[in-house]
Amino acid sequence: MTAVVGIDLGTTNSVIATLENGQPWVIPDEEGDFLLPSYVGMTDTGQLLVGQAARRQYAAAPERTVKSIKRQMGTDYTATLNDRTYRPQEISAILLRSLKQRAEAVLDEAVTQAVITVPAYFTDAQRQATKEAGEIAGFEVLQILNEPTAAALVFDVNSEETETVLVYDLGGGTFDVSIVEITGDVTEVLASHGNNRLGGDDFDRQLQRHLADRFFQTHNVEVPSDAATQARLLQAAEQAKIALSEHAFTTVREPFLVSQGETALHLETDMAREDFENLIKPLLKDTLGAIDRALEDASMTADDIDRAILVGGSTRIPLVQHLVEDHLPNTPVTSFEPDLCVGLGAALQAGVLSGAEVETVLVDVTPHSLGIAAVMDTPMGPMPGVFSTIIPRNSVIPTSRSEVYFTAMDRQEAVDVEVFQGENPLAQENVPLGSFRIEGLPPKPAGAVQVEVHFDFDLSGILTVTATEKGKGQQNTLVVNDAETGRLSSHDLRQSREAIASLFDLPAGLDDDDDDADAE
């Protein structure tokens, strides 16, 4: 038997996934990367480059590199690589073939049948071109599946009841929002809206311009407009953007960016998440308008939506999540591997079509909110001991989030970071997980010192809390292991296990790991 696969053939990145024991998983390349950048190129000696290698040469040799071919599917456009022209189907087929090879190498068997996804708004011509691309690559295309439907399947492949799902998909180069109705294995796209020229690439460009301005402010010298320097700046911008999804601050460093006679000029600047958010907010506001238009087209209101799903790498930006949550206040907004989930859904559908047993992906979530005690400004004055949530309950793990806090008093020299889990607005009413202190803060007025508190919750349930003072970088860390805190009531579990084991007169916890025993 040959394996069936699902493929997300994306504008920026592509993904191939397969099914094992009813569960989909994404097939990585030799380096462990799940995403194949959707770039195809040719070296000057005529060697084919696909993915990361082609992406790397793009800045230096754009005339020999093709990107975002998805935008041209179904048109007469041709791309020229060295001395040959290629139709969009052919460039896409090169990407698909590369994914096929990846899958065959990992699975060690022939891979011939595939489900390939396309945006809900794709026309017949665009769908047909995608199917042809699959056939040129050597696949039997089982189905051309809508991307929002694929994403929704990951959450509810076996749903019996009718569910109305809003899929908000913000990738590298495109944005779309779709409303899908799912009943059993029948899905229907009720409405789809978007902007196929909006995505993370635009955020990178905004930040690139902002960094160039800052460079000018520091050195009074313009960043040269040559392709190589601008490519470095753009890459630095993308890295900073990704860092700011996890951290409230980051430092952008591009040494020797510009040389002026004998002197080299460096770019070195601190970026706050808030600065980045202000740059992209106007673009994101437009995406909220698209939500309203899609609802209108489907003759629905936000209250008709059972669940919203965030898809696409750019939905990892916390502001995107917050804006969608605020825009749909009564709708649960979920996200799971936003850049892989369309590929995973396509693999599930491939499984369904080939008659395999499939299961909804098991998503592991945080059972309690995690946060710290903070002072909150109220009309009656500052109120201490308020629980400030950093990782909300039901967040998919692993997850990392951070928030920024300000000192509450003038010349405050230290802050105590007290970590709690629970849902009560008063910190003390929740379960304390530990605390630590950061000392040696600069003596400044209240509110003038910023401390970033970063929570990292990993798959094994270990929470690492790091607090960093923004100016001097004073830092302290606390690691909380859930086995010690009873997050999953491991203490009770252990006692029950011992009690039951004693009934059988067996030594308890033989299969336990030592950590658990040490925690007693």
Q: Which residues are catalytic?
A: 8, 70, 147, 169
Stretch that binds ligand AMP, among 133-141, 182-190, 306-314, 409-417 (CB under 6 A): 306-314
Q: Which member of 149, 178, 314, 466 binds ligand AMP (CB under 6 A)?
A: 314
Segment near ligand AMP (CB under 6 A); pick from 236-244, 261-269, 271-279, 458-466: 236-244
Kindly report the number of other CB atoms within 10 A of residue 329's CB atom. Answer: 9
State which residue, 230 or 435, has the beta carbon closest to ligand AMP: 230
In the shown chain, the binding pattern of residues 325 to 354 toward ligand AMP, with x for contact by CB under 6 A and - for none, equals: --------------x---------------
Under the phi-then-psi rule, with left for phi > 0, alpha for psi from -120 to 50, and beta for the rest, what region is 278? alpha
* Rounded (5°) CA angle 355-361-366: 170
Spatial separation of the C-alpha atoms in residues 421 and 205, rounded to whole Å: 39
Q: Is 399 in the site for ligand AMP (CB under 6 A)?
A: no
Give the nearest distance from C-beta 7 to ligand AMP in angstroms.
13
Residues 45-52: contacts with CB under 8 Å, at least 24 apart: 46/82, 48/94, 50/94, 50/95, 50/98, 51/95, 51/98
In the shown chain, the binding pattern of residues 142 to 181 toward ligand AMP, with x for contact by CB under 6 A and - for none, equals -----------------------------xx---------
Question: Any contact of residue 356 with ligand AMP (CB under 6 A)?
Answer: no
Tell how strand 111-118 and strand 84-86 pair up: unpaired
Work out which of 9, 12, 29, 399 binds ligand AMP, going by CB under 6 A: 12
- According to the binding rule CB under 6 A, does residue 317 interact with ligand AMP? yes
Q: What is the DSSP secondary-structure string of 1-32?
A: -PEEEEEEE-SSEEEEEEEETTEEEEPP-TTS
Q: Applying CB under 6 A, does 275 fall inside the site for ligand AMP? A: no
Pick the closest to residue 414 from 382, 442, 391 (CA basis).
Answer: 442
Among 245, 395, 421, 466, binds ligand AMP (CB under 6 A): 245
Q: Which two tokens stand for residue 219?
A: 């050195």
Cis previous bond, 398, omega within 30: yes
Q: Does 241 bind ligand AMP (CB under 6 A)?
A: yes
Minimum distance between the CB of residue 338 and ligand AMP, rounded to whole angstroms? 7
Residue 487's identity, in one-letter code, is: R
Q: Answer yes or no: are the C-beta atoms of 310 and 168 closer than 8 Å.
A: yes
For residue 153, report the phi and psi dihedrals to the nearest 5 degrees.
-60, -30
Q: Of these, 74, 313, 351, 422, which contacts ligand AMP (CB under 6 A)?
A: 313
Choose, by CB under 6 A, the member of 64, 100, 316, 454 that binds ligand AMP.
Answer: 316
Q: Which of 4, 6, 10, 240 lies at the binding interface for ligand AMP (CB under 6 A)?
A: 10
The Cα-based distances of 304 to 160, 167, 299, 307, 331 in angstroms read: 18, 14, 10, 9, 9
Dig out the tokens for 131 from the structure. Answer: 């199917």
Task: Round to whole Å and give the CA distance between 488 and 462.
Answer: 12
Nearest distance from C-beta of residue 367 to ligand AMP, angstroms: 24
Q: Which of 201, 469 has the CB closer to ligand AMP? A: 201
The yes or no reply on residue 242 touching ligand AMP (CB under 6 A) is yes
Mask for 177-216, x = binds ligand AMP (CB under 6 A)? ----------------------xxx---------------
Among 312, 343, 345, 371, binds ligand AMP (CB under 6 A): 312
| Residue 265 interacts with ligand AMP (CB under 6 A): yes or no | no
How far, in Å, CA of 341 to CA of 440, rounded? 45
Residue ranges in contact with ligand AMP by CB under 6 A: 10, 12-13, 35, 171-172, 199-201, 238, 241-242, 245, 312-314, 316-317, 339
